[in-house]
Chains A and B, each alone.
Chain A
Amino acid sequence: MLNTTFYIYLMSRWKSIAVWSICMFALALMFTSLYDPFKGEFDDMLDNAPALMEAMLGPIPTDSSISPEVWLGIELYGLLFPIMISVIAISAGASAVGSEEESGTIELILASPISRERIICEKSFGIFAQLAIMGGVLWLGIVVGSFLFPFDVSLINVLSATVMGCIFGLTISNLTLATQALKGRKGLALAIGSCFVGISYVFNVLSGISDNLHSLKYVSLFNYYDGPGVLVNGLNTTSLIVMVCLSAVCFTTALYVFKRRDIGV
């Protein structure tokens, strides 16, 4: 693996990976530590305004207080984690090949006996490794937090939600990578990736507000990610398969268009 495009990609981003990983670990520790002090306040809110809480959090068992899984779903896996993963994925997908095209170093690689398919494969694999490292650090932070603080959480469910988050990120990064591979423009890829995430989020919110808009959830990637749901109910295999298939389609598109496009015009 040393000195491959995959390795060079990861090495070129080690500072970013390190900073994001530290943030993930710190967030995990922070939210596991805050659960116990704030649990009582959430329980009060649940008693006083059950409809509001259900609207915010979705169905809550009547006999339950805020569990660690629900807590993580509200505070971390509901929005913060997928947004962080989206930002990383969009940036990585647009710049994995895009930065090399902009700087001209892509010509060094293309002048070597390496196929364009291998370049895309190694870059995509590199992005996934980057996302997996960050997801892994987040999960590790929660594991450490569960030992340090009163936070009895299902680590399997947390791991499942983290995996869903990483696949969610991979889908976005492959979409962005495919856009960059198609047009060769990093800025356009960043814009398309950001729009996709934004629209996807809006569709997911709208689908929960009105029955008429309920079907919008099927075109929202956030619906398939559903980190809070996975934390409570465990891995949703159907959603996982949908995201893996979407990611595979984007990846195949990136392979196809990058092989045929003129580079260095």
Chain B
Amino acid sequence: MTTDLPIKIEGFSKNYGSSPAVENLTLMVEKGEVFGFLGPNGAGKSTTIKSILNFLTPSDGKISIFGLDSVKSSVEIKKHIGYLAGDISLYDSMSGLQLIRYLTRLGRSTNWTYVEKLAKGLQISLEAKIGTLSKGNKQKIGLIQAFMHQPALLILDEPTSGLDPLMKQIFYEMVLEMKQMGNSIFVSSHDLNEVQTICDKVAFIKSGKLIGIENIKEDFDFTIRRYTVTFKQPIDTQKFKGINSVSDITQNENKVTVTVTGNVSEFLSKLSNLHPIDLSEEDTNLEDVFMKYYEV
């Protein structure tokens, strides 16, 4: 490792034939940072992750991992990386323990005490054949193989897919522990709560282009909510128009749907004067939040 900078991507592009998958992507992940990498399906997240790992060769630009070129120094780099694929495939005929032994033999410096701790925390037996495990339990084995050597850089693609809420919480603790050790985590996720819980910084990518990077712990407000309010009878929606935080107002007879960005107090204060009979909040999609935030 020649620098402390876990990931430095400069002008990275990747084309499949003549169609670009990622265009001119530039970003950096700092030491000890949990970096969220978000975007809709087909945005270029997996292409970027696979290029960091040298599964794919960049068409243009440069990717450096700890100061080493991702293509030329791929083998050296992977000593310091743990990777969990989005749709992880494991050897069904092996047990979890056999898989970890195999990966250790391939050059990973496994911390066996830590492996036992992870298995205990995630409540998974390493003795069972992987082929007999449920999707969630396979995901736990996938997490263990990614964390088992306490890598300086973890690259996780949809890490909590298939995990129940309790296991998600344990995963968040695992991430926090790695972060406290000064290790960095590059995580792709669709889960808004997960991103808000674990990430320090978030990049959003769409159609292969970087839309923005935000420091969510400090200055990025994810609180974009969509409410449906029911009144006894149709009301004049002009009454909401003076509120800066309210937008996208639609009305369907006595139901009004609005989007509230940031602080909701002014909206709720005005709403209480209109005597609503019901108020419901819709699920907010992460992509919608970013689309709204960047107005793209």
The chain B residues found within 8 Å of chain A, CB to CB, are: 16, 50, 53-57, 74-76, 78-79, 81, 83, 85, 87-91, 93, 99, 101-108, 145
Contacts and interface: CB of A to CB of B under 8 A. Distances in A.
A8 B57 CA distance: 27
Interface of A: 2-5, 8, 12, 103-105, 107-115, 260, 262-265
Given A107-B83, A111-B78, A4 B105 contact: yes
B83 A114 contact: no
Contacts of A111: 53, 78, 81, 83
Contacts of B75: 113-115
B89 A113 contact: no
B93 A262 contact: no
B105 A2 contact: yes
Contacts of A262: 55-57
A115 to B, nearest CB: 5
Given A12-B91, A114-B106, 17 more contacts: A3-B101, A3-B104, A4-B105, A8-B102, A105-B89, A107-B88, A107-B89, A108-B90, A108-B99, A109-B106, A110-B53, A112-B103, A115-B74, A262-B57, A263-B56, A264-B56, A265-B56
A259 to B, nearest CB: 10
A110 B108 contact: no
B42 to A, nearest CB: 13
A112 B101 contact: no
Contact of B102 (A3, A103, A107, A263): A3
Contacts of A110: 53-55
A108 B90 CA distance: 8
Contacts of A3: 101-102, 104-106
Nearest to B105: A3
A130 B267 CA distance: 73
Given A104-B85, A104-B87, A113 B57 contact: no
A108 B85 CA distance: 9
